[in-house]
Structure 1
Amino acid sequence: EGFMKKILFLVLLVFASGCAAFKQGGVKVKYPNPVSSEMRSEFSLAENEFKAQRYPQAEVGFRNYSQRYPYNALSDLAEYRIGQIKLLRKDYAGATQTFDALIGKTPDPGVASRARVKAGIAQYRLGNYSSALSYFDKTDPAALGENDRIKLGGLALAALDRVKGNSERKGFYDAVLLDSYQNLSESSIQQQYGAEAPSRQAVLGGLKSWAQQPATVGQIDSRFSTYKAKASEPYVAYKLGMSYYKAGDKKLAGKYLARLVGKYPGNPLAKEAQPIFAQLGYKPGKEAKASGKRYKIGVILPLSGKYQVYGANTLKGMECAASVKAPCAGVSNIQIISRDDQGEPALAVKAVEELVKQEKVSAIVGPLSSASSMAAAQRAEELGVVMISLAQREGIPAIGANIFRFSLTPGEQVRAILEAAVKRGKKLLAVLYPNSNYGKVFLSTTQSMASKYGASVRASQGYGSAGNAAAELRQLKFSVSQASAQAPLGFNALFIPDSYSEVLKIAPNLKNAGLDQVQLLGTNAWNDPSIASQSGGLLEGSVFLDIYFKNSNSTLVKNFVSEFQAAFGGAPSTLEAMGYDAIRFLGQALAGRKASSASDVREAVASSRGYHGVTGLRSFSWDREAQVEPYMLTVESGAIKETK
């Protein structure tokens, strides 16, 4: 119990920072000692044991780390992992003790909230429901990942039922659950959380009942004053608006009811509130409209040099999102100020300094290259400006609390592939991987995540040359002795994490090796038209994914492609789409706000949920990595098409 919903390749991104001080949610977090490269290396050894579910060895490694090194940010994560391991082995009293110690010493309020929810779970398992609630009620949901927010809401509601808690507290946890369910289907909620997470219908019913139940301002859960509601917003706005109206506070009543009537005119509660709203003299939509402020957003891309084409294409997507060139109709509150780094780290650092000191930008998007992103992120954190990196390298958000990353990680890809395979009844996997860092990362990520989704890796085989992989395929075929009617070979799905060009070399050997009947699975590196047109039907029915699919049936994608082509004369690729969504996301996150500081902008980015654009970007998780729901793709009748 207690696994994060999305296990990333390097979980040490959660708290690690090369500096001893950084900002967390606008609060400066100070650790007495920085994290050195030696510390990171030793910590990663224990972390790898944890991901491989070798918990006794992991616990020893985490304890050794805490005892060997002076207190630092990774010391907190080591203690947190030890608490998780105790939860897994059902040592609930011991887990509570570990999390209590962490809560008492950590300088990071986000770490404290994540420890509190785990301590609350431990107490709930012991049947100490009032004690569990004492932890839950002090937890900030904004500091949690989706999985822990759902645990928090579901178990808090169950504990309140046990102790006959008041409905006002239940209203808060119903709101947390409804907002956390935004990107989940009803079946996935029940599959992952069972009876400990009420259905969406039950949560919505509870929230509607709470909203319409009269209450004084003092009776309403005080956490609503700072809670960033999403799907629950119309119910929260109605409740607060009506309560302030009855208290005689017309200003705050108008604020909340204007939000309800302006943003959710079709909601039945908006119609109920309309007469009172009219009495207050407010105009519908007043609070829902953007503040009118335009934000300067710095963009760092390679606009000259050998990577120029990539930077130029990305910038076109950004300009489309900012409505720079007709007929693109994106957001209207963003002004793009670009700088050229030529793919060079030194120039990226210089660009950050110019954008912050001279242009006074509110945030920076980019760079593209990993080296430039690492250098730029270090300087951006020092200068206290939010930066959203577009690089593929893992570890960039660990530089500091102002640094985010928008890219499709191996963890996100493996999660989606495992879900797709299990949905098709293909739970027994083999992995054929290139002997490169890319292939080894996907192998280890799949091995560590498979069991969470009810799958298992039955065999794995590396290869040096895709064109000469026949021997490796035969070796893979005969490496599993356990067979069944559903999997005569011992596995019924074959995952090949390699590029489309290399997969096309492997495909002819699949039939020769007798592997043409297993379900083929791939990464976003498969997404090229030639995977369908040049494979001779050998890859029909295979399943892979990408962060963007230009031929999607999505109305948003169709409109984007049409507007982009009219504006720039060509179809947008993945880079254009990512540039578009990075700017559009920022524009929507900042809309209606009066963000005047880096902490305001960071809060806007971190708290924005349920985004839907042209890529799979949905939000940023508590470790500041993008949460992405990729497009699932297949080869059908010689073409790449969407699948589920």
Structure 2
Amino acid sequence: MNLPVAPRALALPAAGSLSMLQSAFATALLAVSLLGCPRHTGPDTTLPLVTTDNRAAEDEVRAAREAADAGRSAEAVERYEAYLARYPDDALRPVAQLGLGRLRLAEGQPSVALPLFEQVARHPDPAVAERGRFYVGVTRHFLGDHAAAVAILEPLRGRTVDPEETTLLLRTLAASALATNDVERAIVTLDALLAEPAPDTDRAEADARLREALSAPLPPEVATRLYETLPHTGVAWPVLARAQMRAAFAAGDLPRVRVLAGALTRAGETLEPDLASMAMRAERTGTADPRVIGALLPLSGRGQEAGQAALRGMALAAGSPPTGPLTANDFQIIHRDIGDDPAAAVAAVDELVTLHRVVAIVGPIGGEAATLAAARAEALGVPMITLSPAGGIEARGRNIFRILPSPLEEVRALLRTTLSASVRRVVVLHAAHGYGHAVRDAVRSEAGALGGEVVGAVEYAPGTTAFGDAMRATAALRPDVVVIGDGASAVTLIAPSLAAVGLISVGPGQTVPNGRRAIRVLLPSLAFDAGLARSTGRYLQGAQAARPFDASGPLSATAEQFRDAFTTRYGQPPSMLAAYAFDAVSMIQGRVEAGSATRESLASALAGLQDSTTAGASQGFSAARGPNHAATIVRLDGASWVRAAP
């Protein structure tokens, strides 16, 4: 005895969140399956053969079924009830109970139908009992006991014979799964439902609900299981694979993009233009052009002067001609302007890797941009040498390198050449900004291990020009060493202010008048400027500075060669960033020409590289991918900055 599909009784709910749709969807599905008059046109082949010797009882059941098939539901109910009352022990009772129960369900009386189906479920014949359990599960859903419906119906998946009952099973199971927030089961079931013959309106509704479920965020383990288990010929798998492909591309997982694109193509799917573009770019990331280097620099906005200087250093290292085309053997620098927008660095990394197939990237300069770009570069497996002094950025992964010294590394180098048994009391004098705090924290981190003692930190507002209060607080701490965490312009005001409170900067062998205290002034690189020797040199005698690179000297022979070549080509001396950008490109070129022509081999070759020929102070990279050497330490001696004794 079959259960019909009647015209739709409820309008579809408006699209919205999955949780809001569940109740309305369940009602609509079951209304489609159950409302209306059961009909049948032949023997009930979905039940095992059940016979009776009582011809009158058989006639009663046949008459009831014929009435139901003809749409005379009230008559069918009356005949089934009369038969059940008249023949309590007849063998056809399960047929009548199922028929009557389905009619009661169609009338919207699940509580009346349930006892009828439960009696069938207790039948000694396993096949008959299974049929009863099927309708118990459907009825449990009607009664709102969705967990019980799922528990009963899930084992029956694939065991129904009648197409209409298969559709009813899948609809009910999907609706109960949605009602219990079991989205994984709902997706699998709706996908199976769409593989069954059904009217176009029913298929459209099931398809809409399936796509709604797939559009909601899925836990990673659920998405993985669905991808691995759903049939590729269904509706759900291609939708899921496309979504995963877009997510993988957004996350920079281009190997995964390649896998998904290949799977979709093999399944006979045609990729949309955006997916085809992703697939092409992912495919291109697998190989790099070893003679193409990317650059991420601020060539506009506030940092454009620094960016232009770095780009000039790179071009000089690559041997790019001032004018005219490159030759086939030249290294090519592909630069992208990220301006003042750190987020632009991420898209630029994608472009350099997927379109231009760069073997490595140099930059960015800013700390935030470098952090964002480093995460993307690591995900794509491309070596990146940042031009940011932000410490720890190299810990992002094996492909990320930092060539500039961090404040901590500079402070460590300065303290190492200064502290002794008689020079150990350290005060940090710093502005209340990020760099000042970085210097303060570095001193606190390093001084103790080097034999010093941090006796205090004196902070002042950025842009301060009158330092009286800060100087008196500093003098009260009786320092042997004062570390300044600010720019060089502030040092021109701080140096005479220290002397005014009796703190006199001295060099080796120098003494101070009675009543004054000898101190050593230490200047990290941002506090240093060669012009300090002229402007405030009398107050900074013996001061020591961390100097990663300064074109005014003193310089190594290779640094002098770089300075002279840069000045000849561009008509001005190079900046520190120009020198370090030059070194970054030079080291990449050297490793490529030595045979490291892939990104992976290049990253391995750069880690631990010892290079004494760098223009800047780095001398290559440590195994941890930071600079081997932080800075040259120079000391003001008279009117000149000279190399300090190690």
TM-score by length of 2: 0.49
TM-score by length of 1: 0.49
- Which has more radius of gyration? 2
